Amino acid sequence: MKTTSALLTAILLISLPVQAEITIKEYPDMFIKNNRLDVKIVVGDNAMASDTIGAIEIATSLQVNPTTKKALIGAKAALASEIEDIKNENLIVVGGACANGVAAELMGYPPICYESIPPNTGIIRLYKFSGGISLVAAGRTAVDTRRVCRVLANYYDYKLPQSDYMEIINTNEREITIR
């Protein structure tokens, strides 16, 4: 009986599809299914104008599939308070732990919210759950967040890393360094 059970378990495990590791490098493909966007772009309930503009820039860049050149539909906008379960939706979260409740939850509610990101820096962090993927675009300041949004809006101009985390550093107003 134990042999049959072990054999059946082994057969089931072998037949299960292997899910490839998703990284930032796969952006925005991780949110495209059948040439349709499956993502909500989330800003904080009291988001600064620069966070909202950053979210608009991201949404605008997602209107056309860069590979097929076909129009993409399906992206939705939401306030942080409208997200019921961060683990069961695909989200692009704009703003850090101080500015966006969803970001705060994903980042583990850092005790001093602005210190969760180094000075003059923005981050892109990928969170993977069984029911969804969240991508946080956040900065130490609103200006840093806007810079991160600019990188996501122009993702094809940057070498995105094959990891779940990256930093965007401000070296001066015209130059962006990615680490």
How many structural domains is the chain composed of?
1
Least confident of 32-36, 119-123, 155-159, 171-175: 171-175
Span 57-65, average pLDDT? 92
Could you tell me the residue range of the domain that residue 129 belongs to?
A: 22-178
Is residue 110 domain-resident? yes
Is residue 13 domain-resident? no
Are the CB atoms for 134 and 145 separated by under 8 Å? no
Average of per-residue pLDDT values in the chain: 86
**What is the reported pLDDT for 16?**
36
Are the CB atoms for 158 and 134 separated by under 8 Å? no
Bridge pairing between strands 91-94 and 132-139: parallel
What phi and psi, each to the nearest 5 degrees, are found at residue 37? Answer: -75, 135
Q: What is the CATH number of the domain that holds 140?
A: 3.30.379.10
Is residue 7 domain-resident? no
Are the CB atoms for 175 and 158 separated by under 8 Å? no
Least confident of 13-17, 29-33, 71-75: 13-17
Is residue 98 domain-resident? yes
The Cβ of residue 40 has, within 10 Å, a number of other Cβ atoms equal to: 21
Per-residue pLDDT band for 69 (boundaries 50, 70, 90) equals confident
Span 62-73, average pLDDT? 84
**Which residues lie below 8 Å from residue 65, measured CB to CB, with a gap of 6+?**
32, 35, 71, 72
